[in-house]
Structure 1
Amino acid sequence: MPNANISGLRIRLARQKAQMDQTELAAALEIEYEIKITQSDISEIERGVRGVRDFELDYISRILNVNPIWLLRGE
C-alpha cells in the first residue's frame, strides 16, 4: 500500500521536537483551529496511512512552529 502522504515522518519529528504527544497535538488543533482530528488520526498521518488536507498541514505547522514547506519537502 503506498503512503497516503509524504509529510507524516516530518510531522512526527516536529511534534517530538516540540515535546508534544499525539493527544496534545490533536487537542491543540481542536482548541486553536476548531479542527477535529483525533489522536488516532495523528497516528495514521504520521504512519502515512491517512492523507493530510492542506489546511490541516497549515495548522499543524503553526502549532509545531515549523515551515509547512519543510513538512512537505524537507526544505
Structure 2
Amino acid sequence: MKIHRQNNRCNISGIKIKELRLNAGYSQEALAALLQLEGLNVNQKAISRIESGDRVVADFELQYFAEVFHVPVTELLMFEKN
C-alpha cells in the first residue's frame, strides 16, 4: 500500500494527540499504557511515530485516543491549514 504524505506527514491527528497528551501531563509511555488498558495494542514507539507523523493512524485507533482524552474523534482531526 502506498502511503501518501501531506506536509511530510502520514497523519493529521498526531499533532493534536501530542497536544492533548502534554496538556494531560502524560508521557508517551503512560499514554501507551492507558490505550492498552482500553484494548489498543500500542507501545511508546508507536506513540512517538504517530506524534511525529511517521505512522498512519487507523480510523478505529482514533476512537481509542478519543476515549482516553475524553474528546470527540472529530477533535483529533482538526488542523490548521498553512
TM-score (norm 2): 0.81
Distance 1:65 1:17 in 2: 13
Query: Does 2:52 align with 1:53?
Result: no
- State the match for 1:71 in structure 2: 76
- In structure 2, the residue corresponding to 1:73 is in which secondary structure? coil
How much does 1:61 deviate? 1.0
Give the structure with the higher percent helix.
1
Structure ID, larger Rg: 2
Aligned-CA RMSD value: 1.3
- In structure 2, the residue corresponding to 1:37 is in which secondary structure? coil
- State the match for 1:38 in structure 2: 43
> Does structure 1 conserve the Cα–Cα contact (< 8 Å) formed by 2:16 and 2:78?
no
Query: Does 2:27 align with 1:17?
Result: no
Q: Which runs of 5+ in 2 are unaligned?
A: none
Runs of 4+ off more than 3 Å:
none
Q: How many residues align?
A: 73
Percentage identity across paired residues of the two chains: 40
Q: Which runs of 5+ in 1 are unaligned?
A: none
TM-score (norm 1): 0.88
Distance 1:17 1:66 in 2: 13
